[in-house]
C-alpha cells in the first residue's frame, strides 16, 4: 500500500474524535472544556500544546506501520490479545470512548494485517458506534458502510475504504478544536499497538524473524517521550494517570541503556507495564 495512504489511514485514528456537531455544542460545552480547553495555561500554553500535537502526529508511528510487521513475518493471529467487542458497552465517558476508539482502531489494523477478514465487519461496526457516540456520524454513513461488505475481501480494498471514511473526520479536525480527545485517541492506538507487538514477541529472544519487532519496540522510546510531553499539558483525569504509567514505562526503557539492544528480560518488563496501562484503558468506564 502506498506510504501516503498508510499515513493518512492511521492519522485518522489519531483525529477520529476531533469533530463535534454544532447542534450539540451547548449540551457538550462542559465536556469540551475538559477535553479540548483544559490545558495548563497561561495564554500561550494552548499554542504550545498544538505544536506538540502536530509534532506527535508527524512523527509517531501509527498502528498500521507497527502492526504490518506482523503480517510480513507471517505470524499467527491471536484473538485473545485484542480488546473484546463486548467491552464496548462499558465505555460511558467521552474520555474512555476516545481512548478505546484508538484501541479498536489498532485492533482493526491488527486484524487487517493478519488477514482475519471475518473479524473486520464487527470491528468496523464497533468503531462506527463510538464515532456516532462522539458525534461524528458522517464518518461512517450508509454509503461508506456498504463498501465494507465486499466479497471476496481484499486487504488493500479494506484499507482504502477506511481511508475514505476517515476523510470526513480529517475535514472535521480543521474546523474543531478537540485536542484533548484527539490526544487520547492517539494514546489508545499507540498503547494497543505496542501491547500487541510485545505480546506477540512473548518469550522469543531478539534474533531471527523477531529481531525486526524488537527494533520496533526499541524505536518507541522517542515516541513515548513525545506522548508524555503532550499528555502532560492536560491536568485532569485520565490524562495524569496515563502520564504516570507512561513515565514508568519510560524508566524501563532508560534502564536498558542508550543504544543497547533490548533483551527479552527488558521486553518482558516493558510489556508488563504496558499491560497495566492497557488494562486501565480498556476497563475504564
Q: What confidence score (pLDDT) does residue 125 get? A: 87
- C-alpha cell, 141: 454513513
**Range from 19-33, 135-149, 154-168, 241-255 carrying the lowest mean pLDDT:** 19-33
Grid cell digits, residue 231: 499528555
Where does the pLDDT of residue 75 fall: very low under 50, low under 70, confident under 90, or very high at 90 and above? confident
Alpha helix segments (H runs only) across the chain: 3-14, 29-32, 45-59, 63-72, 94-113, 120-133, 142-146, 155-175, 179-201, 211-231, 239-255, 264-283
Give mean pLDDT, residues 104-129: 87
Segment 134-157, tens digit of pLDDT: 776 665 666 666 666 666 677 777
* Contact predicate 185/98, CB 8 Å: yes
The residue that leads in pLDDT, 127 or 22, is 127
Mean pLDDT of 20-27: 35
Question: Which residues, 6+ apart, have CB-to-CB distance to 164 below 8 Å?
Answer: 144, 147
pLDDT digits (tens, 9 = 90+) for 165-219: 655 554 454 446 677 777 888 889 899 999 999 999 999 999 998 998 999 899 8
pLDDT higher at 24 or 17:
24
Average pLDDT over residues 35-50: 53
- The residue-averaged pLDDT of 10-28 equals 35
The per-residue pLDDT for 182 is 77
| Best CA proximity match to 55, nearest among 95, 17, 14 | 14
Check residues 178 and 243 and name the one with the higher pLDDT.
Answer: 243
What is the pLDDT at residue 142? Answer: 67
Max mean pLDDT among 14-23, 66-75, 146-155 falls in 66-75
List the domain boundaries for the chain: 3-9+51-283
Terminal-to-terminal C-alpha distance of the chain: 36
Least confident window among 44-58, 108-122, 158-172, 212-226:
158-172
Amino acid at each position: 500500500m502506498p506510504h501516503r495512504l498508510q499515513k493518512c489511514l492511521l492519522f485518522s485514528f489519531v483525529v477520529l474524535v476531533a469533530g463535534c456537531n454544532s447542534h450539540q455544542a451547548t449540551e457538550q460545552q462542559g465536556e469540551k472544556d475538559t477535553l479540548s480547553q483544559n490545558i495548563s495555561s497561561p495564554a500561550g500554553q494552548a499554542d504550545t500544546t498544538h505544536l506538540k500535537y502536530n509534532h506527535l502526529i508527524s512523527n509517531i508511528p501509527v498502528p498500521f506501520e507497527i502492526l504490518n510487521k506482523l503480517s510480513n513475518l507471517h505470524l499467527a493471529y491471536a484473538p485473545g490479545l485484542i480488546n473484546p467487542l463486548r467491552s464496548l458497552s462499558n465505555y460511558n465517558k467521552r474520555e474512555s470512548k476516545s481512548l478505546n476508539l484508538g484501541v479498536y482502531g489498532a485492533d482493526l489494523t491488527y486484524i487487517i494485517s493478519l488477514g482475519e477478514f471475518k473479524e473486520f465487519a464487527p470491528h468496523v461496526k464497533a468503531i462506527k458506534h463510538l464515532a456516532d457516540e462522539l458525534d461524528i456520524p458522517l464518518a461512517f454513513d450508509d454509503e461508506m458502510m456498504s463498501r465494507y461488505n465486499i466479497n471476496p475481501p481484499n486487504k488493500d480494498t479494506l484499507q482504502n475504504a477506511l481511508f475514505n471514511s476517515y476523510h470526513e473526520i480529517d475535514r472535521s479536525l480543521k474546523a474543531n478544536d478537540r485536542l484533548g480527545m484527539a490526544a487520547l485517541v492517539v494514546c489508545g492506538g499507540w498503547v494497543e499497538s505496542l501491547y500487541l507487538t510485545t505480546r506477540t514477541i512473548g518469550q522469543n529472544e531478539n534474533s531471527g524473524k523477531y529481531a525486526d519487532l524488537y527494533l520496533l519496540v526499541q524505536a518507541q522510546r522517542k515516541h513515548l517521550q513525545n506522548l508524555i510531553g503532550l499528555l502532560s499539558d492536560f491536568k485532569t483525569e485520565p490524562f495524569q494517570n496515563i502520564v504516570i504509567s507512561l513515565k514508568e514505562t519510560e524508566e524501563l526503557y532508560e534502564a536498558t541503556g542508550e543504544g543497547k539492544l533490548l533483551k527479552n528480560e527488558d521486553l518482558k518488563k516493558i510489556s508488563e507495564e504496558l499491560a497495566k496501562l492497557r488494562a486501565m484503558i480498556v476497563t475504564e468506564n
